Amino acid sequence: MVITLRDGTKREFEKGITVYEIAKSISDKLAREAVGGKFNGKIVELNTKIEEDGELEILTFEDEEGKKIYWHTSSHILAQAVKRLFKDVKLAIGPAIDNGFYYDFDTERPFTTEDFEAIEEEMNKIIKEDYKLERFVLSKEEAIKFMKEKDEPYKVELIEEIPEGEEISFYKQGEFVDLCAGPHLPSTGMVKAIKLLSVAGAYWKGDEKNKMLQRIYGISFPKKSMLDEYLHMMEEAKKRDHRKLGKELDLFSIHPEGPGFPFFHPKGMIIRNILEDFWRKEHIKRGYQEIRTPIILNEELWKRSGHWDHYKENMYFTEIDGQTYAIKPMNCPGAMLVYKSTLRSYRDLPLRLCELGLVHRHELSGVLHGLMRVRSFTQDDAHLFMTPEQVEDEILGVINLVDYFYKIFGFEYHVELSTRPENSMGTDEEWELATNALISALKRANLPYKVNEGEGAFYGPKIDFHLKDSIGRTWQCGTIQLDFQMPERFELEYIGPDGEKHRPIMLHRVIYGSIERFIGILTEHFAGAFPTWLAPVQVRVLPISEKHHEYARKVYERLQEHDIRVELDDRNEKIGYKIREAQLQKIPYMLIVGDREVEEGNVSLRSRKDGDLGPISLDNFIEKILKEIATKAL
- Catalytic residue list: 332, 361, 379, 381, 383, 462, 508
Query: Coil, helix or strand for 319?
Result: strand
Total number of residues shown for the chain:
634
| 28 CB burial (10 A radius; 0-12, 13-18, 19+) | exposed
357: nearest Cα among 513, 483, 467: 513
Note the helical H segments in 514-609: 515-525, 549-561, 575-584, 595-600
Helix, coil or strand: residue 286: coil
Torsions phi, psi of 583, nearest 5? -65, -40
For every residue of 130-167, DSSP letters joined together read T-B-EEEEE-HHHHHHHHHHTT-HHHHHHHHHSPTTS-
Cβ pair 507, 495 in contact under 8 A: no
Task: For residue 204, give every residue at least 6 positions away whose Cβ sits within 8 Å of its Cβ, in sequence order, or none.
Answer: 92, 104, 106, 154, 210, 211, 212, 213
> How many whole angstroms separate alpha carbon 580 and alpha carbon 561?
27
CB 459 within 8 A of CB 424: yes
Q: CA 151 to CA 7: how far, in whole Å?
A: 48
- The C-alpha atoms of residue 130 and residue 174 are separated, in whole angstroms, by 9
Rounded-to-integer distance, Cα 511 and Cα 217, Å:
31
